[in-house]
Amino acid sequence: MINNFSVSGSGQIAPVTASAVKSSEAYTEIREPQIATTFSSMSAPGVAESLGKTSSQADLNSQNEVGTLVVVFRDIFLSETRDLGEPSEAEGIVRGEFERRPFVVKEALQELCLQAFRDGDVTIACGVLELFARLPEREFSPANKAMALSALAQTNEIMKEYGIRAFEMWASKDCLEHLKRVHCASRRIEKYRLRVIEELSSLPCHS
């Protein structure tokens, strides 16, 4: 059992988390600009400038949405208490938001995980890695695998373990190949990596 998400408890999160998500959706709603249907009265430079502003505003709104979700997910992982393997409240938000704004959700999870790697925050990093492992592999690729590989490059053994566990749960052929190309200095983690490789290699679909 590891850190916040490994301690038994109710796992109840303050209501502010859910309301924060709703508020962010309303605040960051991207409104399409009113663009004239006839371009004959507009000069070419004017059109280019208008489209450039539209693209910049869309990028800014997308960044705001990503930033809002990063805060929401971080608060969840830091405040919840649950047993390892139990779904996080963040998983419900991800599944609910993914169909509407997949890019924003993937970017938020990836950004939060990268921040955790930089800060050496085991709780956040492992929370995101465990969440990625429970989500559909293809739908969240390549962000999910990039983070799992980054975990294997960290010095922290727990992060490495969660990176290997993600590949183990996805169990695809390319996951097997990724695991074959790395090596872990820790005897315990290396033993785990080799065991997962052996198990994945024995699957009929990988033979």
How is residue 8 written in tokens?
């038994």
Alpha-carbon gap, residue 207 to 205, rounded angstroms:
6
Alpha carbon distance 64, 67 (integer Å): 5
pLDDT number for residue 77: 87
Query: What's the rounded Cα separation, in Å, for the pair 93 and 71?
Result: 13
Query: Binning pLDDT at 50, 70 and 90, where does residue 39 land?
Result: very low
Evaluate the CA torsion angle 105, 106, 108, 109 in order and state its sign.
Answer: positive
| Cα gap 52→55, rounded to integer Å | 5
pTM of the predicted protein model: 0.70
Per residue in 106-152, pLDDT (tens digit) is 999 999 999 999 999 999 999 999 999 999 999 999 999 999 999 99
User: Could you give the CA distance from residue 113 to residue 77 in angstroms, rounded to a whole number?
Assistant: 11
**Given this model, what pLDDT does residue 161 score?**
96
- Residue 204 carries which side chain, given as an amino acid letter? P
**Which has more pLDDT, 2 or 73?**
73
The pLDDT-based confidence of 49 (bands split at 50, 70, 90) is low
**CA dihedral sign of residues 186, 187, 188, 191:** positive
Q: 83, 6 in Cβ contact below 8 A?
A: yes
What does the angle CA 46 – CA 52 – CA 56 come to, to the nearest 5 degrees? 150
